[in-house]
């Protein structure tokens, strides 16, 4: 089979390898759609301490396909079924799983290798995070379940009231999905990002107002711009950071109104820190939440949402490319020519 292998930062090869064999409880999936993701692009450029522990390594984690083989003991799935798998599954046994924080499981075991013609789904994911896709849902749309599940994690912890102003900072793939989901949940979204194209897309996905960060060169101006558009200058009810830079975190906490909620969604490089005025926490009583990953419940909810037809997947998936053009797809996204690309390893 064809498979993309990472040999180090920036070193990617498309190779011909053996189709992997499966063990008891596992399932082999023929990958019909894999999607590019910001995390994969970062991993390709600079490596990833958690996702890639050694080289060479397969990678890619947003995908769907058809079951081509089932291991002994697998009951719920059969050959030929259309499925989507999450890139992890919680253990159910550890301290955090027992407390109900399953996204913080001590043993998530992240799955990699979607940029290939076949992928083995480990037993735990088969049992907890493998879902059948309805006939009317396309493979590429279903593959959006994972990023949408992550974004639903933020939305579900936001306690939105109708008409709340939500500012989304950063309009990469995740920022755009967040814009869409908050809009679908009744919020008035202010989308802040760089470049006309991304701002246009944010409007298509439901943003009521936009702030072009490229036109603003000073952080205080950006804070002012967001505040001016929300609650008569008081600040947004909710602000979500979807960039993952300490400087942006610092800016984001200053955009919320008194008593408001700040969600720090974008993960920063490990070891970094940020500072903030203590009065924001005490006298202005703002709440700050970090959001990480997803849960089996959210993953299912994401697929249900996609199946309902409410998600504008056409605005998020920018085009189809063969596996051989994976690097090209990454560079297109880096240049903001597209949001997510559908990688088709069987492209003819």
CB 239 within 8 A of CB 169: yes
Single out the segment in contact with Zn ion by CB under 5 A; choices: 8-16, 20-28, 93-101, 244-252: 93-101
We find the least distance from the C-beta atom of residue 204 to Zn ion, in angstroms, to be 21
Interface map 47-86 toward Zn ion (x if CB under 5 A) = ---------------x------------------------
We find the least distance from the C-beta atom of residue 125 to Zn ion, in angstroms, to be 14
Position 97 contacts Zn ion (CB under 5 A): yes
Please measure the distance between the N-terminal and C-terminal CA atoms of the chain and give it in whole angstroms: 15
We find the least distance from the C-beta atom of residue 147 to Zn ion, in angstroms, to be 5
Beta strands in the chain (DSSP E): 2-8, 11-16, 27-35, 57-58, 63-70, 82-85, 118-121, 130-132, 165-169, 188-193, 209-212, 236-241, 256-264, 287-290, 317-322, 340-344
Nearest-CA neighbor of 173 among 313, 31, 327? 313
Position 105 contacts Zn ion (CB under 5 A): yes
Identify the DSSP state of 18.
Answer: P
1, 41, 91, 268: which one binds Zn ion (CB under 5 A) = 91
Position 29 contacts Zn ion (CB under 5 A): no
CA distance 282 to 88: 37
Position 276 contacts Zn ion (CB under 5 A): no
Which are the contacts of 60, defined by CB distance < 8 A and separation ≥ 6? Answer: 4, 34, 37, 40, 112, 113, 114, 115, 116, 343
Position 37 contacts Zn ion (CB under 5 A): yes
We find the least distance from the C-beta atom of residue 137 to Zn ion, in angstroms, to be 19
Q: How many residues bind Zn ion (CB under 5 A)?
A: 9
Interface map 128-157 toward Zn ion (x if CB under 5 A) = -------------------x----------
Position 113 contacts Zn ion (CB under 5 A): no
Classified as helix, coil or strand, 84 is strand
Position 94 contacts Zn ion (CB under 5 A): yes
We find the least distance from the C-beta atom of residue 157 to Zn ion, in angstroms, to be 19
């Amino acid at each position: 089979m064809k498979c993309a292998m990472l040999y180090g930062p920036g070193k990617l090869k498309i190779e011909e390898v053996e189709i992997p064999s499966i063990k008891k409880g596992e399932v082999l999936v023929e990958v019909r759609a894999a999607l590019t993701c910001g995390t994969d692009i970062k991993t390709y450029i600079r490596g990833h301490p958690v996702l890639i522990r050694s080289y060479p390594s397969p990678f890619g984690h947003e995908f769907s396909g058809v079951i081509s083989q089932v291991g002994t003991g697998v009951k719920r799935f059969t050959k030929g079924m259309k499925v989507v798998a999450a890139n992890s599954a919680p253990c159910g046994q550890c301290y955090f799983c027992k407390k109900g924080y399953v996204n913080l499981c001590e043993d998530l075991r992240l799955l990699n290798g979607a940029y290939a013609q076949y992928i083995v789904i480990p037993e735990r994911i088969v049992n907890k995070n493998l879902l059948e896709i309805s006939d009317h849902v396309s493979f590429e749309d279903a593959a959006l379940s994972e990023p949408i599940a992550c974004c639903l994690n933020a939305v579900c912890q936001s306690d939105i009231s109708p008409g709340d102003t939500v500012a989304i900072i950063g309009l990469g793939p995740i920022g755009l999905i967040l814009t869409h989901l908050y809009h679908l949940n009744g919020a008035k979204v202010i989308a802040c990002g760089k470049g006309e194209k991304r701002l246009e897309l944010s409007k298509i996905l439901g943003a009521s107002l936009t702030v072009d960060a490229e036109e603003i060169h000073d952080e205080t101006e950006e804070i002012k711009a967001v505040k001016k558009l929300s609650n008569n200058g008081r600040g947004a009810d909710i602000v979500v950071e979807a960039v993952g830079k300490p400087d942006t975190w610092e800016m984001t906490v200053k955009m919320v109104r008194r008593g408001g909620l700040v969600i720090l969604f974008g993960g920063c490089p490990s070891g970094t820190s940020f500072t903030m005025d203590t009065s924001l926490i005490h006298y202005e009583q703002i709440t700050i939440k970090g959001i990480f990953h997803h849960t089996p419940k959210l993953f299912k909810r994401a697929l249900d949402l996609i199946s309902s037809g409410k998600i504008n997947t056409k605005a998020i998936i920018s085009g189809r490319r063969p596996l051989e053009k994976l690097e090209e797809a990454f560079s297109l996204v880096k240049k903001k020519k597209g949001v997510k690309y559908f990688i088709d390893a069987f492209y003819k």
